Structures are given as C-alpha cells and as structure tokens.
Amino acid sequence: MGLKRTDEFRKDAVRIALTSGLTRKEVADDLGVGMSTLKKWITTHQDTDVVSKEDLGLAQENDRLRGENRILKEEREILKKATVFFASQKP
C-alpha cells in the first residue's frame, strides 16, 4: 500500500499545481505522487480555500501571458529567418 500523505501535504500539492506554472506531470513527479492521485486531490480541494481567488486569478493570468510569450517568441524566430532569407536574395 502507498504512503499516506497528510491533508496539509495534499493542500500544498494542490496549491503548487494550481499556481506554480508547472505542468501537472512536473508537480506530480517533483512530489513523488502519481498523476491520478494529484488529479484526485485537485478535484477534492479545488473549491476550498487552499488557493485564494486572487492567487488563482494571478496564476491564470500568468498562464495566459506564458502562452502569449511563447507565440511571440515563435513569431520572432520566423521573422529572423525571413530576414536572413530576404537579405540573401540578390537584387
């Protein structure tokens, strides 16, 4: 049988999973728990006061900004390649 985790540990795991910006897999691996276990804890504790609404809102905004940043970096790389390509064309 698996190791019994304290309720405090579970709540901390949920807080980390919801606010850290790490993937659920990364959090589960870092904490030494299975993905299904972490998902179950999140389902159980997501509506409690483990994470304040403000913190959850900030975490969601961070996720949105990370996605936007990733897209902008990809666009910048495409523009760099296009610049090199057009600079190498002979007039």
Token pair for 62: 């961070």
pLDDT reading at 25 higher than 90:
yes
Residue 21, phi-psi category: left (phi > 0), alpha (psi -120 to 50), beta (remainder): left
Give the pLDDT confidence of 56-72 residue by residue, as tens digits.
788 788 888 989 999 99
Question: What are the two backbone dihedrals, phi and then psi, of residue 63, each rounded to the nearest 5 degrees?
Answer: -60, -45
CA distances from residue 62 to 12, 22, 28, 54, 56 in whole angstroms, order as listed: 19, 11, 20, 12, 10
Q: What is the structure's pLDDT at 59?
A: 78
Q: What is the structure's pLDDT at 2?
A: 62
Q: Do the beta carbons of residue 31 and residue 4 sit within 8 Å?
A: no
Residue that has been written with the tokens 């709540």 in this structure: 11
Quote the pTM value.
0.59
Mean pLDDT, rounded, for 24-38: 93
